[in-house]
Amino acid sequence: MRDGVTARSAVPPAAAAEVVARVVDNLESAVRAPRETLELSVLVLVAEGHLIVEDFPGVGKTVLAKSLARSLHLSFSRVQFTPDLLPTDVTGVNVFNQQTNAFEFRPGPVFANVLLADEINRASPKTQSALLEAMQEAQVTVDGATYALEAPFLVVATQNPIEYEGTYPLPEAQLDRFTARLSLGYPPLAEEARMLQEQTTQPPLDRLEPVAGRADVLAAIEAAKSVYVEESVGRYVVALLRHTRASSLLALGASPRAGIALLRMAKARAVAAARDYVLPEDVQAVAEAVLAHRLIVAPEARAAGATAEEAVREALEQTPVPV
């Protein structure tokens, strides 16, 4: 089902940049959040990644995921993760059809371009790993048969940062599979007031129209893939990873997988700026969102109030930037 991706020739980054800008503009009309946050969510899509949103209830997580899907004319589905959710509730299940006297596959909610996985930490590890496998492989296996997921496939998983009671927090190895983490937070006062006004009259989401389509996303993905990375920039990414591994603030530094995600996001950002090569500033701009959630702060450093974000900033400050 991954059609349209292979036969495409080089896509000019300018066209992809225009699509990204249009989508971010559109998101801005429905989601009250900083533009950088909204752009980041689009970059994750262009980087063929997945997003984890850690935030309080009612701050616009669902609106963001829905708006993204609608802006790009992509299919959308949502799963509320609960302790009794089964892997097949996500992937789909074989059901017996009495007319044909055979089993047929009934696809689960994972068969969508944008899947909102709400409160992913509430599901059992078994169900979590079914989703994580789908994220990694872009396919699901049910009763021995494998089904490909249609590209693009973006999981927006949410976690509530305050309620850990009765949850199965994602182990670091699984968090590492998310390209970036972002939080929407509470909007500034004037924005929030405007949002309340809109929501109680005509919610912008109801009026949101597509501004691009699936083919545009696939083209942007291709454009990002062919972005050029100079050797010095590649080394810079590795130096950042190594800095986190040696940092006294951290008990666990960034993995090679984190490096891949960082470079993919930097390439997506280059495309969004209509460039066909990565600059160190692309890497710097996305580093915190890409790296922080994968790092474990050392107990002593945590006791002293250090955070993973700080460790990323420290790595950025202390790593020589290629010129």
Q: Identify which of residues 61 and 243 has a Cβ nearer to Mg ion in the complex.
A: 61
- Both tokens of 13, joined, read 């980054």
Out of 68, 155, 184, 315, the only residue in the binding site for ligand ATP (CB under 6 A) is 184
Total site size for ligand ATP, rule CB under 6 A: 16
Q: Identify which of residues 113 and 158 has a Cβ nearer to ligand ATP in the complex.
A: 158
State the minimum distance, in angstroms, from the CB of residue 183 to ligand ATP: 10
E strand or H helix at 157, and its extent? strand 154-159
Q: Identify which of residues 78 and 214 has a Cβ nearer to ligand ATP in the complex.
A: 78
Residue 107 amino acid letter: P
Query: Binding of ligand ATP at residue 181 (CB under 6 A)?
Result: no
DSSP β-bridge partners for residue 208: none
Find all residues with CB under 8 Å of 301, minimum gap 6, and list them. 248, 249, 250
Q: CA dist 40 to 9, 36, 80, 95, 143, Å?
A: 26, 6, 24, 39, 37
Residue nearest to ligand ATP (CB): 60
258 with 291: CB under 8 angstroms? yes
Distance CA 189, CA 166 (A): 34
Q: Which does 199 bind (CB under 5 to 8 A by kind): ligand ATP, Mg ion, none?
A: ligand ATP
Ramachandran class of 74: left when φ > 0, alpha when ψ lies in -120 to 50, beta otherwise: beta
Scanning residues 231 to 290, which ones bind ligand ATP (CB under 6 A)?
none
Q: Which does 63 bind (CB under 5 to 8 A by kind): ligand ATP, Mg ion, none?
A: ligand ATP
Question: Quick check: helix, strand or coil at residue 221?
Answer: helix
Query: Binding of ligand ATP at residue 59 (CB under 6 A)?
Result: yes
Query: Binding of ligand ATP at residue 34 (CB under 6 A)?
Result: no
Query: Binding of ligand ATP at residue 122 (CB under 6 A)?
Result: no
Query: Binding of ligand ATP at residue 62 (CB under 6 A)?
Result: yes
